[in-house]
Amino acid sequence: MTESNTPPGLTVVLGLGSRSVALNPWLDHLCAVLSTCTDCLQLMVVALSDSHPAEEVAKQGRVEWLREAGASQATLARVAGVYAAHPFVLTCVVADGVLPRIEQIEMVWRNRCHADVLIAARPQRGLVSRLAGLQRRLLRRVLSLPVRDVFSPCRLYRRDVLTALRSRLPQGGGAMADLELLLHIVAEGYQVREVGIAEPLPIRAASDGSVWLRPGRLAALWRTRNSILSADYDDRAYDSIIPLQRYWQRQRFRLVTELIAGEGAVLDVGCGSSRILSALPAGSVGIDILFRKLRYARRFPTPLIHASGFHLPVADGAFPCVLCSQVIEHVPKTSPILQELCRVLKPGGRLVIGTPDYAHWEWRFTERLYAACAPGGYADEHIAHYSRQELLDFFQSRGFVHEATRYILRGELIMAFRKPSVWTA
């Protein structure tokens, strides 16, 4: 992300509790500091009632006043998604009548171009804070979140993130809704980073960030986070805490990169957010139908295209190597994807294709086991069942030469074919 010459506008949304706050002096200081960073500043206050002690500031026209049932991060995000007028939104949940330090807001604001969402991470000081920190680290690990302070009361968003997620923002309030909001943002592939602050934020949420999570609710969040549709699923599986999944992903990476080595630029069809994108040679391109996967994959150097494998926006014979790993089992056999792979491959080029081998009992057993542990997972996602012989028959009937077969635990099949130098569709 790069910063333009024109300073972008900022919307600040404060969520106030029931205590009185000295809002006017704080606003004077905020405007004085941020005037050096932006010319456009919108101030909004969300309170529990119309009779809040700070309402007089709204009557002076300095802020926009809204009444909501709560003042959590999820509530402020919903408000900002509708009313924010500027490209960036800073949300702060204020508790105990103490407003955030302007210097901390300024630091978060100056780092705005480093991610789609910035989290102000609080230092852990004192016994209560450290115990809450242990809980936050546990949640971070269980839900594979990229930040430590998952309940931070201060966040900076790009407004388009909140606009895109408007229909999916949690409708409740409180710390659980805040956690769910963060999870949705990460699952959609947006970049989320922390900005550490030297002094504790004088604002709190849910008793210094701790919250009681019911096991059932936590399990539901875990299932959402680990869905194959989650933007970072493919990349995260490479470092999975589940040994078998980690082994499988790393074996796939090793075998695929060996088979495409030395073949030139690669067209990766159905690339997802796989770490294989980071190992492709210069001139390669990744294509996927799921935009959230491509959004996450921006961190890799390979250019990306949002398109369907049924109609690849690529000229005939454009790439000397075409890769399609773990895709064809997700689409009907009547789809044109295999013909498209053949079409865009350069005559004499190599095609590398991977899919489960349903002729082997090892994969059928693995899939049944997965279905028992995670209903609605791969057993339902795989709608086309292939075998090694079926793929051999398909490609050899079109003049392709089979060059290699690799297996992962005799379940996942990875094959390499050479397209004939003279080929007609």
Residue 424 domain flag = no
Q: Could you report the per-residue pLDDT of 91-110, keeping only the tens digit for each?
A: 988 876 777 888 888 888 88
The single-letter DSSP state of residue 151 is T
Check residues 132 and 19 and name the one with the higher pLDDT. 19
Instruction: Give pLDDT, residue 1.
Output: 47
Same-domain status, 61 and 194 = yes
What's the pTM value of the predicted model, to 2 decimals?
A: 0.85
Residues 61 and 32 occupy one common structural domain: yes
The answer, yes or no, to whether residue 84 has pLDDT greater than 50, is yes
Q: Does a structural domain hold residue 425?
A: no
Range(s) of the domain holding residue 24: 10-225
State the pLDDT at residue 289.
Answer: 96
Q: Domain for residue 3, yes or no?
A: no
**Which domain-ending residue is among 225, 244, 267?**
225
What tens digit of pLDDT does each residue of 278-301 get? Answer: 999 999 999 999 999 999 999 999
Measured in whole angstroms, how far is the alpha carbon of residue 161 from the centre of its chain?
A: 11
**pLDDT class for 31, splitting at 50, 70, 90?**
confident
201 and 119 in one domain? yes
Residue 347 predicted with pLDDT over 90: yes
Distance CA 44, CA 84 (A): 9
Based on the fold, state whether residues 178 and 42 are members of the same structural domain. yes
**pLDDT of amino acid 104:** 82
If asked whether residues 29 and 148 sit together in one domain, one would say: yes
Indicate whether 253 and 108 sit together in one domain. no
Q: Is residue 5 part of a domain?
A: no
Residue environment code for 335-365, b if the CB has 16+ CB neighbours within 10 A, otherwise e? eebbebbbbbbbeebbbbbbbbbbebeebee
Q: Is pLDDT of 150 > 80?
A: yes
Is residue 405 classed as helix, strand or coil in its secondary structure? Answer: strand
> Is the same domain home to 153 and 268?
no
Residue 93: inside a domain: yes
Average pLDDT over residues 176-197: 89
Q: Is residue 423 part of a domain?
A: no
Torsion, CA 367, CA 145, CA 13, CA 195, rounded to 10: -160
Confidence of residue 66 (pLDDT cuts 50, 70, 90): confident
Mean pLDDT of the chain: 85
Domain CATH code at residue 37: 3.90.550.10
Asked whether residue 136 falls in the same domain as residue 14, the answer is yes
With a cut of 70, say whether residue 49 has pLDDT above it. Answer: no
Number of structural domains the chain divides into:
2
Instruction: Report pLDDT for 132.
Output: 57
